[in-house]
Amino acid sequence: MAAAIPDIEVPTALVEAVERDRAAGVEAACVQVEQIRASGAFAGVHLVPVTRYREVAARLEQQQR
């Protein structure tokens, strides 16, 4: 994604983590959502997990409990 969109920077550690385990991307996205939620700075977020939407939804639902 960073190669296709010049204004996006993807941390090397995240790229390496996803190369080792695809679930690392879901985890990273969910951590960001949780941090945004906790900050109270925004009323919500918009995610586009494409084929991974079930994993993202399950992970975020676990956190809300």
The SS3 call for residue 3 is coil
Closest residue by Cα to residue 14 from 36, 56, 2, 59: 2
Residue whose entry in the numeric block shows the structure tokens 């997990």: 49
Residue whose entry in the numeric block shows the structure tokens 């969910």: 30
Residues 6+ apart with CB under 8 A from 62: none
Looking at residue 3, what is its pLDDT? 74
Read off the pTM: 0.72
Closest residue by Cα to residue 23 from 55, 57, 62, 58: 55
Tens of pLDDT, residues 3-61: 788 888 889 999 999 999 988 988 998 898 889 989 999 988 888 888 888 888 888 88
